[in-house]
Amino acid sequence: MALGKLAWLLAVCLLPTVLAEPLVFKDCGCTEGTIITVDVSPCQMQPCHLVKGQTYTVNATFTSKEDSDSCTAVVHGILGIVPVPFPIPQPDGCKSGISCPIKSGQTYSYVTKMPISTKYPSLEVVVQWQLKDSSGKDLFCWAIPVKITDN
């Protein structure tokens, strides 16, 4: 009987993870690559609720349409139509899961951490994440709505 209750409790606890909707992102102008998937973990619903003081894992899988010696992440919070820079600890994509140089036709997984500062205001904003090649063109550009909260 105890084993049955444990299995039921485990199923109930895992249900939100199983039912979490896939992350829907907007392609905001990939010119030199094609986005395959975007994952922000943990993000179980949209807009993603980002809790101040927590760190989230960002993983974007893309295929490059060109060769590039380097890549740099640029992140903004879009407030209305105004892009506000959003600092990340490691903007160098070659230190974020990508083996540089990047080769055309190859698929890469960009993986980094996104800490949410306790100093950020509580608000809803669109996060725009770009990975730029060595000439400043977008290997990928995606955007998702987020809600920054205290808890």
Q: What is the CATH number of the domain that holds 89?
A: 2.60.40.770
Average pLDDT over the chain reads 86
Q: Find the domain containing 61 and state its range.
A: 21-149
- SS3 of residue 136 by DSSP: coil
Interval 49-106: pLDDT, tens: 999 999 999 999 999 999 999 999 999 999 889 999 988 999 999 999 999 999 999 9
Q: Are 114 and 136 in contact (CB under 8 A)?
A: no
In whole angstroms, what is the distance from residue 25 CA to residue 39 CA? 9
Between strands 123-133 and 138-149, the pairing is antiparallel
Going by C-alpha positions, the residue among 143, 150, 126 that lies closest to residue 50 is 150
- Beta-carbon contacts of residue 8 (< 8 Å; ≥ 6 apart): none
Count up the domains in the chain and report the number: 1
In a domain, 42, yes or no: yes
CA-angle at 128, arms to 127 and 131, nearest 5°: 135
* Residue 27, domain member (yes or no): yes
Residue 73 domain flag: yes
Q: Is residue 59 part of a domain?
A: yes
Within-domain flag for 141: yes
Q: Is residue 34 part of a domain?
A: yes
Residue at 53 is within a domain:
yes
Q: Nearest 5°: CA angle at 97, between 91 and 103?
A: 95
- Kindly state whether residue 108 falls inside one of the protein's structural domains: yes
If one compares 70 and 22, the residue with the highest pLDDT of the two is 70
With beta carbons less than 8 A apart as the criterion, state whether 74 and 88 touch: no
What pairing do the DSSP bridges indicate for beta strands 71-79 and 82-85? antiparallel
Ranges 8-22, 74-88, 134-148: which has the least confidence: 8-22
pLDDT at 22: 61
